[in-house]
Amino acid sequence: MKLLEDRIKRDGTVLPGDVLKVDNFLNHQVDPQLMYEMGGEFKRLFENEGVTRILTVESSGIAPALMAGLKMNVPVVFARKHRSLTLTDNLYTARVYSYTKQVNNDISIDKRFIDPDDKILIIDDFLANGQAVEGMLEICKAAHVDVVGVGVVIEKRFQKGHQLVLDAGIHLEALASIASLANNQVTFASNTDK
Ligand code: 5GP
């Protein structure tokens, strides 16, 4: 998506450990107009999949997932990383290792917010080694629901997550695909090397 690639070129910075910092439009400050455009793009890409619900994980997945849900007219549920007094039992839970924070989080969703007939679209901000997506897939497996797609805002195609999702036979779309962050340079993958 050209709008997103241009924004990454303008505002993204590369940090040690192959981390792309995009906190002035996605991970901290959020650009609503860009999120809205991205929601429309997710709708276009997954239009034929019969999506009934979107699943993401807090916090950075929420903004793009919400806009996709708005455009696709389906509910959005986000897995929580922290237990709360109102989130007690009747949960689906999975353990996820965080790429950027280097800690394990147990992510949970209330069983009321996933339905056996659902066709789930998983959305997240980044796809790196695929741990977050794997955790969400584990939850969907436990809930016996179909996952019809994984949509990410930015994938780092040189890390494991891209292949992991493809090997699972799931329709994967990234709005921006990064081939390399070597030498502090963002190099985009062309769509032909999918
Ligand atoms: P994965 O679970 O695929 O290894 O990593 C995905 C999660 O780690 C995303 O939800 C995102 O929050 C975080 N993450 C991974 N790589 C990056 C990155 O390069 N930049 C930022 N800002 N977050 C990342």
pLDDT the model gives residue 187: 97
CB burial of residue 26 (10 Å; 0-12, 13-18, 19+): buried
- What's the domain range around 17? 2-78+115-193
User: For the chain, first and last CA: distance in Å?
Assistant: 15
Question: In the numeric block, which tokens belong to residue 102?
Answer: 């280097």
User: Does any ligand 1 atom lie closer than 6 A to the CB of residue 134?
Assistant: no
- Give, for ligand 1, the residue of 28, 96, 100 to mutate: max count of ligand atoms closer than 8 Å to Cβ: 100
The pTM score is 0.96
Is there a domain that residue 110 lies in? no
Pairwise CA distance, residues 129 & 183, whole Å: 20
Is there a domain that residue 11 lies in? yes
Pairwise CA distance, residues 37 & 40, whole Å: 5
- Give me ligand 1 centre to Cα 131, in Å: 9
Is there a domain that residue 96 lies in? no
What is the count of structural domains for the chain? 1
Extract long-range pairs of 45-49: CB within 8 Å, 24+ residues apart.
45/149, 45/151, 45/173, 46/72, 46/121, 46/148, 46/149, 46/151, 46/171, 46/173, 49/119, 49/121, 49/148, 49/149, 49/171
User: Does any ligand 1 atom lie closer than 6 A to the CB of residue 35?
Assistant: no
Query: Was 129 annotated as part of a binding site?
Result: yes
Q: Could you state, in chain order, the average pLDDT of each consecutive group of 10 residues for the chain (194 residues)?
A: 97 97 98 98 98 97 98 98 71 91 92 96 98 97 97 98 97 98 95 54
Q: Return the CATH number at 143.
A: 3.40.50.2020
Is there a domain that residue 29 lies in? yes
Each residue of 130-163: pLDDT tens digit? 999 999 999 999 999 999 999 999 999 999 999 9
pLDDT the model gives residue 84: 64
- Give me ligand 1 centre to Cα 133, in Å: 10
User: Does any ligand 1 atom lie closer than 6 A to the CB of residue 187?
Assistant: no
* Backbone torsions φ then ψ of 175, nearest 5 degrees: -75, -25
Is there a domain that residue 105 lies in? no
Q: Which residues pair with 19 in a beta bridge?
A: 15
Pairwise CA distance, residues 20 & 16, whole Å: 9
Is there a domain that residue 145 lies in? yes
pLDDT the model gives residue 163: 97
Is there a domain that residue 186 lies in? yes
pLDDT the model gives residue 87: 57
Is there a domain that residue 143 lies in? yes
